[in-house]
Amino acid sequence: MTEQRRVALVTGAARGIGQAIATRLAGDGWRVVIADRDHSPALGPPGSGLRRVQADVAEEAVVEALLAGVQAEEGRLDALVCNAGFMVRKPLRELTLAEWQAVLGTNLTSTFLLARASEALLRASGGAIVTIASTRARQSEPDTESYAASKGGLVALTHALAMSLGPEVRVNCVSPGWIDTKGEALRPEDHAQHPAGRVGRPEDVAALVAWLVGPESGFVTGAEFVTDGGMTRKMIYAE
C-alpha cells in the first residue's frame, strides 16, 4: 500500500518567508495548502502539490472554513506553519487601537485560532506546529510596540501549546532576524555586521522549518530557534 502524502498548511505564504517554506516543503514531497489574504502567485506547475486558498486567518469563521476545507480536500494534516504577519511602525502616540488589534489579530490570535481548529487533525497524524516569531520578541527598534508584543506573545504561546498538545503534537518556534525577502540592494557592511558573514535568506528559515516538521526533530518541542546569523549574540558598543 502506498504511503499517503504528508500535508502541510502554511499561512502568509504568498511571498517572502512563507513562500519559501511552501516551496521547500513541496519540493520535499509534501502536499502544501497555501493560505494568504492576498492572492498567491503561481509557485509551481499543475500537479506540484500546492493548493492556494485566499483567507484572512485573523477571522475565526475563515479559519474554521479553511480547516474544514483541508479535512474535505486533503483528508489529513501533518504540519501547520503559522507565518502570517505584518508590521505597523508608528510613534506610540499615533498608534490607534484598531491598528494595534489588527497586528495582534494577524500575528498572534491567528495562531490560536489555527491551532484550535487543527488540533484534531494534527493529533490524528502525530503532527507538528511551527510558529514564525522574530528576534523582535526580545529586542526592538522605536515605534514597533504592536509588532514586538505580537511576536513575544508567539514565543510564549508556542511553549503553552507544546504542553497542551503533547505528546501527539509537537510545537516549536522560529525567530528570524534580518531576512532579505525583497531582494534589497545590500551593502558589504550589511553582510559583514552578521557573525555568520551575511544577511539571511528566506531559504534559511525554510530549511529549519522543514527539519522541525520532519521526523528527525521528534524529541524537540516547546523550543524557540533563533536564526539571525548570530546578531542577537553580538555585543555592540558605541564608539
- Residue range 51-83, pLDDT digits in tens: 999 999 999 999 999 999 999 999 999 999 999
174 Cβ contact partners less than 8 Å away, ≥ 6 residues apart: 130, 131, 132, 133, 205, 208, 209, 212, 224, 225, 227
Task: Give the whole-angstrom CA distance, residue 111 versus residue 165.
Answer: 14
Work out the angle between the directed axes of helices 145-165 and 110-125 (0-180°, nearest 10). Answer: 20
CB-based contact 16:87 (threshold 8 Å): no
Task: Give the whole-angstrom CA distance, residue 175 versus residue 165.
Answer: 21
Half-sphere exposure of 222 (CA within 13 A, CB side): 11
pLDDT band at residue 200 using 50, 70 and 90 as cut-offs? confident
List the catalytic residues. Answer: 147
Q: Which CATH architecture has domain 7-233?
A: 3-Layer(aba) Sandwich (3.40)
pLDDT (mean) for 223-234:
93
Proportion of the chain above pLDDT 90, given as a percent: 82
Q: Is the pLDDT of residue 86 over 60?
A: yes
Sequence ranges of the domains in the chain: 7-233
**30 φ/ψ sector (left φ>0, alpha ψ -120 to 50, else beta):** beta
Half-sphere exposure of 187 (CA within 13 A, CB side): 3
| pTM more than 0.85 | yes
Task: Give the whole-angstrom CA distance, residue 191 versus residue 159.
Answer: 32
pLDDT (mean) for 27-42:
86
CB-based contact 23:43 (threshold 8 Å): yes
pLDDT (mean) for 178-204:
88
- Residue range 128-143, pLDDT digits in tens: 999 999 999 999 999 9
CB-based contact 83:18 (threshold 8 Å): yes
In this structure, which amino acid lies at residue 208?
L
